[in-house]
Chain A
Amino acid sequence: EAQVTQNPRYLITVTGKKLTVTCSQNMNHEYMSWYRQDPGLGLRQIYYSMNVEVTDKGDVPEGYKVSRKEKRNFPLILESPSPNQTSLYFCASGNLREQYFGPGTRLTVT
């Protein structure tokens, strides 16, 4: 089944404790992206990747890192999470015409 998977689905952590949210797709897509969704703000792009080893900042990249060592995986790294990074995070893969979203990761930073 064609899908985008994210792990974990839910995470509660404390300020400053490094964390990684994994994202994997099995559709051989070149374009992958991370978004955060906050009430009243819609989805905002954090980082995107056009292909392996090619990543670029989106609209809200501060406090996040990504890597794209393999085509199927695109992890999101928070080196020192802060409470303002509490949000619902979506990974997406696809191309510049359409994107397929993962189920989301709800992150709470206390």
Chain B
Amino acid sequence: GQQVMQIPQYQHVQEGEDFTTYCNSSTTLSNIQWYKQRPGGHPVFLIQLVKSGEVKKQKRLTFQFGEAKKNSSLHITATQTTDVGTYFCAGRAGNQFYFGTGTSLTVIP
């Protein structure tokens, strides 16, 4: 069945370092969304990517959607302590969503 893999599972960085999480789907996706979940909280929508090769930026966050629409990445430049949390990708196929396993980011001050 449909699978969305996400790596790494955990990442510890010093404040100011960059961070990247990668998402790979076993099949082509209609779109991909990214969510952030703070510890003890619920997932919060960050962005949606639709087009092949699309790149979007939100301040220090850069999101990419692969040419084949099967992979995506989230890159954070110069991490801050407010970036702590788990980042999930969610691929849409038809009317269903397939979430990655998430990358838990710890930022050491």
Interface residues in chain A, defined as those with a beta carbon under 8 Å from any beta carbon in chain B: 31, 33, 35, 40-45, 48, 50, 56, 58-59, 90, 92, 94, 96-104
- Report Cα–Cα, A103/B88, bound state, in Å: 17
- Report Cα–Cα, A90/B43, bound state, in Å: 9
Nearest A-chain residue to B100, judged by Cβ: A42
> Is B24 among interface residues, defined by CB-CB distance under 8 A?
no
* Distance in Å: Cβ of A107 to nearest Cβ of chain B: 15
Q: Which of B30, B45, B101 contacts A42 (CB 8 A)?
A: B101
Interface residues in chain B, defined as those with a beta carbon under 8 Å from any beta carbon in chain A: 1-2, 6, 9, 30-31, 33, 35, 42-45, 48, 88, 90, 92, 95-102
- Between A and B, 24 residue pairs with Cβ closer than 8 Å are A31-B95, A33-B97, A42-B6, A42-B88, A42-B100, A43-B43, A43-B99, A48-B95, A48-B96, A56-B95, A58-B97, A59-B96, A59-B98, A90-B42, A90-B43, A92-B43, A96-B31, A97-B31, A97-B33, A98-B33, A98-B45, A99-B45, A99-B97, A102-B42
Q: Which of A45, A101, A102 contacts B98 (CB 8 A)?
A: A45
Contact indicator B101/A41 (Cβ below 8 Å): yes
* Distance in Å: Cβ of B95 to nearest Cβ of chain A: 6
Which of A58, A99, A100 has the most B CB atoms < 10 Å from its CB? A99
- Report Cα–Cα, A94/B90, bound state, in Å: 14
Contact indicator A103/B42 (Cβ below 8 Å): yes
Answer whether A45 and B100 are a contact pair too, CB < 8 Å, given A96-B31, A98-B33: no
Answer whether A40 and B92 are a contact pair too, CB < 8 Å, given A59-B1, A97-B48: no
* Distance in Å: Cβ of A84 to nearest Cβ of chain B: 19
Answer whether A104 and B96 are a contact pair too, CB < 8 Å, given A40-B101, A41-B101, A98-B48: no
- Report Cα–Cα, A80/B91, bound state, in Å: 31
Q: Which of A41, A45, A50, A102 contacts B97 (CB 8 A)?
A: A45
Nearest B-chain residue to A43, judged by Cβ: B99
* Distance in Å: Cβ of A64 to nearest Cβ of chain B: 15
